[in-house]
A and B are shown apart, each in its own frame.
Chain A
Amino acid sequence: MSSTSVMTVLEAEVAALVVGALQLEVRPEEIDPEAPLFGEGLGLDSIDALEMALAISRQYGFQLRSDDERNGRIFASLRSLAAHIEKNRVG
């Protein structure tokens, strides 16, 4: 279990964005940064992915693409999502 992993500042910010945009019941700090966001972990689906794409483009100024996430890299976990945002954010 990695539930004791400590979140970085950006990970905490992205966790809050995910919880807010998708109206999740968990508190941002309860998200395991290494657990999968889709399916078993947080239980997100493809409709949520589109919601996230909107929220991310508003807050971080770049667009998600299918080729990025087709193999599940970005949404593999909060940590990987935050890493992708770190690399691609504008401003």
Chain B
Amino acid sequence: MGDIAFLDRAPGDVLARLGDVPVTAGRFLADVAALAARLPEAPYALNLCADRYLALVAFGAALARGQVTLLSADRSAHRQRELAARYPGTYAVADGVETVIPAVAAGAWGEGLGANFPIPAERVAAIGFTSGSTGEPAAHAKPWAALVAAARAAAARFGLDDAADQATVIGTVPAQHMYGFETTMVLPLRAPMAIHSGPHFYPVEVAEAVAAAPGRRVVVTTPLQLRALVAGRVAGVSAFISATAPLSPALAAEAEAVLGAPVLEIYGATEMGSIASRRTVEGEEWALYDGVALRAEGADAAAAVVPGLPEPVPLSDLVEMGGGGRFRLIGRRGDMVKRGGKRASLALLNRVLSEIEGVEDGVFVAPEDLEANPAARLAAYVVAPGRTSAEIVAALRERVEAVFLPRPVVLVERLPRNAVGKITRQKLEALRDALPHGVPAHGETEGEAG
């Protein structure tokens, strides 16, 4: 397949904005070269940079040295040790977070204009992670050609291919989450746009970045943060792009009305990357990116055929195929639940729960609106004589991601298991309906709860 250049931008193009200071592509390449010269000889670079520009420089520097970037939005000591044990020779590139493995400080500043460099198309440029079925994160390797193809398709789909727009992408998603990685780390290498370095977690920070950007302003975000942006009345945005969880049509409509910009949505997953998009208020059909195809795999199941990826990737959602590269989602495959951009298997969570000392039986319960309502959380019913809810949560915290920690934990004498020891779907739904209903934390966003 040959080589594909690292960068497809003219040296004078603005590639990033640090606050209101523009950084050109040529200057960026100089920064990449300066950091690359300081990196150790090693196979893997764990990218822990919170600053989006430093994260991008670190990704480029690792590529320049022929190293694979490990993407983890989880910067905890536990995760660092886990990845270093799994990928011997891993070091971290970090910008302030405490490191417990060998590390290099991000942020070497180069001089003049740096040189572009070729990268073999099939070389694995980055590895993303999802919660695996056994508890250990599952790894998903991204060949350089796949990242480039996805970036080109996204640029065409979202109209980020016209240099006259002077587009700036402002991301509220971590650069090391696959969706944030694609939209704010790979896209600027291919499309005539700049990324804003951040941070953009709270609405006021997004508002300031928007105000500082000169041209078309695109905010890459999540349903949870979009809701906060609506509440914060963040003005002046040209388009919003949302992903990581289904966006409720009501929230999309409210955001379009209040913020005065189209709200677009991306469908994808860490395994396959972004593969389709839609404007949520126009209907529930998704349109596949150019070059991507869906292949039916039995009733309602499908796999995505993605340019640059060696194998078709099974979707975790059930789909109904339409014509012309269109499809609808009709349910979740298996027992996966999703929250805060992370996925987990309920069966696995139940197993972890049952392994806690003193727990005789237990089951996680997902509310119906877990994905559509940011305030919704998993709950758990637990049989654990002599133990408290707080003790059970503390024990879970060591093995379960924070977004999946149950709230509430309801202590019961027994679970409604049938003769063969199963909890029927009907009984589970009864347990779910019996959960205390808190005040939906929606404030003035009426009608958003799904």
> A residues within 8 Å of B by Cβ?
20-25, 39-40, 43, 45-47, 49-51, 53-55, 57-58, 63-67, 70
Contact = CB atoms under 8 A, between A and B. Distances in A.
A63 B232 CA distance: 9
Contacts of B50: 70
Given A55-B441, A64-B204, 5 more contacts: A22-B441, A43-B397, A43-B405, A58-B231, A66-B198
Nearest to B199: A66
Given A25-B389, A64-B202, A50 B443 contact: no
A39 B397 contact: yes
B438 A50 contact: no
When A and B form their complex, which 4 residue pairs have the shortest distance between CB atoms, in order from nearest?
Answer: A23-B438, A63-B204, A45-B402, A66-B199
B403 interface: yes
B393 interface: yes
A46 B439 CA distance: 20
A12 B393 CA distance: 24
A74 to B, nearest CB: 11
A40 B390 CA distance: 10
Contacts of A51: 374-375, 441
A40 B395 CA distance: 10
11 contacts: A21-B441, A23-B441, A25-B408, A45-B405, A46-B340, A47-B339, A49-B201, A58-B231, A63-B202, A63-B232, A65-B204
Interface in B394-450: 394, 397, 402-403, 405, 407-408, 438-439, 441, 443
Given A25-B407, A51-B375, A63-B204, A43 B393 contact: yes
Nearest to A50: B228
Contacts of A22: 375, 441
Nearest to B402: A45
A10 B199 CA distance: 29
Interface string B183-195: 0000000000000
Interface residues of B, number: 32
Interface of B: 50, 96, 198-205, 224-225, 228, 231-232, 339-340, 374-375, 389, 393-394, 397, 402-403, 405, 407-408, 438-439, 441, 443
Contacts of B393: 43
Contacts of A24: 407
A70 B202 CA distance: 12
Nearest to B97: A70
A21 B438 CA distance: 9
A37 to B, nearest CB: 12
B96 to A, nearest CB: 8
Nearest to B409: A25
Given A20-B439, A25-B408, A43-B397, A50 B232 contact: no
A25 B377 CA distance: 13
A66 B202 contact: yes
Contact of B340 (A47, A55, A57, A66): A47
Contacts of A21: 441
A34 to B, nearest CB: 17
Contacts of A65: 202, 204-205
A63 B231 CA distance: 12
B231 to A, nearest CB: 5
A63 B202 CA distance: 8
B402 A23 contact: no
Contacts of B339: 47
Nearest to B172: A50
Contact of B202 (A39, A45, A50, A55): A50
B203 A53 contact: yes
A63 B203 contact: yes
